[in-house]
Structure 1
Amino acid sequence: MSENKAKPTFSEDEFGKKLDRCVTDTLIKAAGGLALGTVFSLLFFKRRSWPAIMGTGFGIGVAYRTCERDLNSDI
């Protein structure tokens, strides 16, 4: 009699590593968007705050899409 155990698609350690990469990626891309938005704000938009906020939002959005794709790749 052979035991038929279901093998998980990925272990908790791999999930933790992917989640760590997602958090790091989000922080880096949000900071990059903030920096780029701040530069554009200072140079072109008379020190308005919306370019910095918009750049941060774009960075977080790109990181979210990347994390979602990375976490769902093993399903």
Structure 2
Amino acid sequence: MAATTSEIIQRKTQRPASEDLLSEKWDKCLSNLVVKSALGAGFGIIFSILLFKRRAWPVSFGLGIGAGRSYAECDQEFKGAAGGVTKAVGERLQRS
């Protein structure tokens, strides 16, 4: 039984395009950077006020810890895609 044109088009539109997957990864990485850096800076502000007599270095340290953790997770996400399908992408491909 031959597939009709509408069935072929429907199958192609169900699979996510590689550009969409890459954009999704970048969006996740950037939002992760903002959230983790803000949390690190927030903890730095709290520790600066409570323990370190309002010094600036705990804020910078917390900001750097948050940004570094975010970078590590993004690096792992992108390197995982080079070696194979990552867990999130694999789940998304299985749903379609």
Q: What TM-score comes out, normalization by structure 1 length?
A: 0.85
Per-residue deviation, residues 9-44 of structure 1 (Å, max 9, x unmatched): x71110000000000000000000000000000000
Q: Counting helix residues as a fraction of each chain, which structure ranks higher?
A: 2
The higher-RCO structure (CA 8 Å, 6+ apart) is 1
Q: Which residue of 2 aligns with 1:52?
A: 59
Unaligned runs of 5+ in 1: 1-9
* CA RMSD across the alignment: 1.0
Paired residue total: 66
Alignment partners' CA distance in 1, 2:76 and 2:70: 10
Alignment partners' CA distance in 2, 1:50 and 1:63: 20
SS in 2 for 1:74: helix
> Between the two proteins, what is the percent identity of the paired residues?
38
Structure 1 segments of 4 or more deviating over 6 A?
Answer: none
Alignment partners' CA distance in 2, 1:46 and 1:22: 34
Unaligned runs of 5+ in 2: 1-16, 83-96
Larger Rg: 2
Per-residue deviation, residues 29-68 of structure 1 (Å, max 9, x unmatched): 0000000000000000000000001000000000000000
